[in-house]
Chains A and B, each alone.
Chain A
């Protein structure tokens, strides 16, 4: 099942860096994640919350805005969200999720906040991050825990630390997560690629991710955005071909399989063409 919501690029921006926050929206990422977790040291969390609050009030964002809160288990997540104007954000990225209870607890909190803000309940999405063995074991329950869950991300470094699984074998983990996400119509966001100076290697990493079904990539540097947007978008040739197939399907208007330039085209292919055109419409 194709996800209802997805993003090709989700740029992490440290929540305590005013210069980066001020500029982050000009680079063309589909989503900006203002981070309160790993990129902000414990002594600066409070400062970062104020900065994000002010940024949401003053700055113009054309990309979707997300907040990455601290893990539910740290107890800081409520402080993280207290001063945030929820009407300005699209989603919350939740790190280190290990059970469906983490998600439900957060969802209940958001329900009350949405009501108080005049937002439609359920309008703030959640993107849980699977980063531990337990989170992986509980992946299906987490992904299917509530309607707010729009997709799932993967934190490779924390996962390696927690499990000892080597990097070369992460693809098996990620494929399982992709299948689980897609079974419930959610997106899968691949982990960051830390070496932002090597754009060629980054492109290869994105292409690998796309091939096992990832919908997008977490980004740590603006220089990666263009490459990732390209890889996770259908190519002009794919869009053109999809358009031609759909036009032919509409012309025939029978719903039957037909021959298009030597290829058998049936309903799954026609549906895929519609998806391609929809994704192509979001091409930066």
Chain B
């Protein structure tokens, strides 16, 4: 088959990859990814320069990118998240062009509405066949959903499937069709299997997490919202995961089944599917190794692409159907704005992910976080980086209790009637000041190191060069 390449240099020649083009990768392999480094090393070795790197997100295993920015191979980066050494490198102003940060839905819009043309998409797949069909559900390094890759393949000028497991037989499950595939690159290993397969999320069970989870579960049980047949996004944080554990006995007693759960799918959620607490899982990204097996065997565990998940220009997207969303935060301010990108010290340490998409789409958006992390207040007078607008947030739950937007009088009344004390943000903020004071805000220079867009491509915040 003339689509199959074992030598990346042949592939580079065939695709005529040139300077200044845009290449893309997904982050389904999470901290185990080897594909990005393999490809970029080869491109750099060939002297290709000034590339725009447009990924669904960047993990700590991608810290090698610092070297390729320094040598000019990569000159622009677009991503959902920044962390680790690369995050530090960028916050110190070492890139000439600001990094563009988008939500998953915002990126789905950008690659399809013309804002960002992808010249070559390199899509890791744990299994491909000789015709060019590909999936993440089967293969020796199966990772589950190819939600970001599927949309990439449909929109990129050229699509390269990168795999370490090529089948001669046609795949039983096809995520990306052969029609979308221009080439298949065979590599020794798409990733470090231990890190692909290891639970991306460890369910935390420390007392603080449990307390907030218990408060969240009690809120859901007493907020007056009918939970049966609702669509829910749980988020991937420890608090969200433990909340479901607290809810279980209530779900059983009231015979509640969620219509579907969407977003990043965890082992916890596959368990809920098996136990009948949720009818369907809509998987745009799999966070645990068991998800691949679940998708392979359970007809109600669906793979969805990111356009279906959260593209704001897609009126039928899933986030618009959400009833309840539970999301985390690095910071929340008195106007209910949320920061999930930078710490209180201004350094990159997170990702937008689907935060903006889910918050805007969901009928009820709940932020769960400790009021104070260590000695750093999560609730602040003004977030360092605006990522999700306050208008899309409804409730904040911490270890001290529940806080509802004052204009939601009906919800406040229902909770009060059920014996809950409902706090205001101002009251909790005064508590944080009393407990830990007001930390000094980071100081910035004029240079913009990153731009956070909203879902529609508008600039929401500019992250400036951090002064030491």
A interface, CB within 8 angstroms of B: 18-19, 22-23, 26-27, 58-60, 221-223
A224 to chain B, nearest CB (A): 10
Question: Inside 8 A of A59's CB, which chain B residues have their CB?
Answer: 434-435
Q: Is B211 an interface residue (CB 8 A)?
A: yes
Say whether A223 contacts B210, CB under 8 Å: yes
Say whether A223 contacts B207, CB under 8 Å: yes
A-B contact pairs, 17 of them (CB 8 A): A18-B375, A19-B374, A19-B375, A22-B372, A22-B435, A26-B208, A26-B211, A26-B399, A26-B400, A27-B207, A58-B435, A59-B434, A60-B431, A221-B207, A222-B207, A222-B211, A223-B207
Question: Nearest CB to that of B431 among chain A residues?
Answer: A60
Question: Inside 8 A of B431's CB, which chain A residues have their CB?
Answer: 60
Say whether A27 contacts B211, CB under 8 Å: yes
Q: How far is the CA of A103 from the CA of B47 in the complex (A)?
A: 84
Q: How far is the CA of A18 from the CA of B375 in the complex (A)?
A: 9
A228 to chain B, nearest CB (A): 14
Task: Kindly supply a per-residue 1/0 record for chain B positions 356-385, scoring 1 wherever the CB is within 8 Å of any chain A CB and 0 otherwise.
Answer: 000000000000000010110000000000
A55 to chain B, nearest CB (A): 9
Question: Nearest CB to that of B374 among chain A residues?
Answer: A19
Q: Restricting to B410-468, which residues have a CB under 8 Å from any CB of A?
A: 431, 434-436
Question: Inside 8 A of A60's CB, which chain B residues have their CB?
Answer: 431
Q: How far is the CA of A120 from the CA of B208 in the complex (A)?
A: 37
Say whether B210 contacts A58, CB under 8 Å: no
Question: Inside 8 A of A23's CB, which chain B residues have their CB?
Answer: 208, 399
Total number of B residues with any Cβ neighbor in A under 8 Å? 13
Task: Kindly supply a per-residue 1/0 record for chain B positions 199-212, scoring 1 wherever the CB is within 8 Å of any chain A CB and 0 otherwise.
Answer: 00000000110110
Name the 10 nearest CB pairs between A and B, nearest first: A222-B207, A26-B399, A58-B434, A26-B211, A223-B207, A27-B207, A22-B435, A27-B211, A26-B400, A58-B435
Q: How far is the CA of A261 from the CA of B372 in the complex (A)?
A: 53
Q: Restricting to B209-233, which residues have a CB under 8 Å from any CB of A?
A: 210-211
Question: Nearest CB to that of B373 among chain A residues?
Answer: A19
Question: Inside 8 A of A223's CB, which chain B residues have their CB?
Answer: 207, 210
Q: How far is the CA of A19 from the CA of B206 in the complex (A)?
A: 14
B397 to chain A, nearest CB (A): 12
Question: Nearest CB to that of B215 among chain A residues?
Answer: A26
Interface class of chain B by DSSP: helix
Question: Nearest CB to that of A24 among chain B residues?
Answer: B207
Among A26, A59, A221, A222, find the residue whose CB has the most chain B CB atoms closer than 10 A: A26
Q: How far is the CA of A221 from the CA of B435 in the complex (A)?
A: 22
B439 to chain A, nearest CB (A): 15
Q: How far is the CA of A157 from the CA of B211 in the complex (A)?
A: 30
Q: How far is the CA of A60 from the CA of B400 in the complex (A)?
A: 11
Question: Inside 8 A of A26's CB, which chain B residues have their CB?
Answer: 208, 211, 399-400
Q: How far is the CA of A223 from the CA of B374 in the complex (A)?
A: 19
B interface, CB within 8 angstroms of A: 207-208, 210-211, 372, 374-375, 399-400, 431, 434-436
Q: How far is the CA of A48 from the CA of B401 in the complex (A)?
A: 28
Q: How far is the CA of A57 from the CA of B375 in the complex (A)?
A: 17
List 12 other contacts, CB 8 Å, given A59-B434, A223-B210.
A18-B375, A19-B374, A22-B372, A22-B435, A22-B436, A23-B399, A26-B208, A27-B211, A58-B434, A59-B435, A222-B207, A223-B207
Q: How far is the CA of A26 from the CA of B435 in the complex (A)?
A: 14
Question: Nearest CB to that of A62 among chain B residues?
Answer: B400
B398 to chain A, nearest CB (A): 9
Question: Nearest CB to that of B207 among chain A residues?
Answer: A222
Question: Inside 8 A of B400's CB, which chain A residues have their CB?
Answer: 26
Question: Inside 8 A of B372's CB, which chain A residues have their CB?
Answer: 22
Question: Nearest CB to that of B211 among chain A residues?
Answer: A26
B457 to chain A, nearest CB (A): 42
Question: Nearest CB to that of B400 among chain A residues?
Answer: A26
Q: How far is the CA of A174 from the CA of B445 in the complex (A)?
A: 67
Q: How far is the CA of A221 from the CA of B205 in the complex (A)?
A: 13
Q: How far is the CA of A223 from the CA of B207 in the complex (A)?
A: 6
Q: How far is the CA of A59 from the CA of B435 in the complex (A)?
A: 6
Q: How far is the CA of A23 from the CA of B208 in the complex (A)?
A: 8
B438 to chain A, nearest CB (A): 14
A193 to chain B, nearest CB (A): 16
B368 to chain A, nearest CB (A): 14
Q: How far is the CA of A23 from the CA of B436 in the complex (A)?
A: 12
Q: How far is the CA of A175 from the CA of B340 in the complex (A)?
A: 55
A163 to chain B, nearest CB (A): 34
B371 to chain A, nearest CB (A): 9
Q: How far is the CA of A19 from the CA of B373 in the complex (A)?
A: 9
Question: Nearest CB to that of B398 among chain A residues?
Answer: A26
A78 to chain B, nearest CB (A): 29
Question: Nearest CB to that of A222 among chain B residues?
Answer: B207
Question: Nearest CB to that of B370 among chain A residues?
Answer: A23
Question: Nearest CB to that of B208 among chain A residues?
Answer: A23
Question: Inside 8 A of A221's CB, which chain B residues have their CB?
Answer: 207
Question: Inside 8 A of B210's CB, which chain A residues have their CB?
Answer: 223
A130 to chain B, nearest CB (A): 29
Question: Inside 8 A of A22's CB, which chain B residues have their CB?
Answer: 372, 435-436
B209 to chain A, nearest CB (A): 11
Question: Nearest CB to that of A26 among chain B residues?
Answer: B399
Q: How far is the CA of A23 from the CA of B211 in the complex (A)?
A: 11
Question: Nearest CB to that of B434 among chain A residues?
Answer: A58
Among A23, A60, A223, find the residue whose CB has the most chain B CB atoms closer than 10 A: A23
B156 to chain A, nearest CB (A): 48
Q: How far is the CA of A221 from the CA of B372 in the complex (A)?
A: 20
B166 to chain A, nearest CB (A): 46
Q: How far is the CA of A22 from the CA of B431 in the complex (A)?
A: 11
Q: How far is the CA of A23 from the CA of B206 in the complex (A)?
A: 12
Question: Nearest CB to that of A223 among chain B residues?
Answer: B207
Q: How far is the CA of A27 from the CA of B212 in the complex (A)?
A: 10
Q: How far is the CA of A59 from the CA of B372 in the complex (A)?
A: 13
Among B210, B372, B435, find the residue whose CB has the most chain A CB atoms closer than 10 A: B435
Q: How far is the CA of A223 from the CA of B206 in the complex (A)?
A: 8
Question: Inside 8 A of B211's CB, which chain A residues have their CB?
Answer: 26-27, 222
Q: How far is the CA of A27 from the CA of B399 in the complex (A)?
A: 9
Question: Inside 8 A of A19's CB, which chain B residues have their CB?
Answer: 374-375
Q: How far is the CA of A59 from the CA of B211 in the complex (A)?
A: 19
B378 to chain A, nearest CB (A): 13
B369 to chain A, nearest CB (A): 14
Question: Inside 8 A of B399's CB, which chain A residues have their CB?
Answer: 23, 26
Question: Inside 8 A of A222's CB, which chain B residues have their CB?
Answer: 207, 211
A23 to chain B, nearest CB (A): 6
Q: How far is the CA of A116 from the CA of B436 in the complex (A)?
A: 31
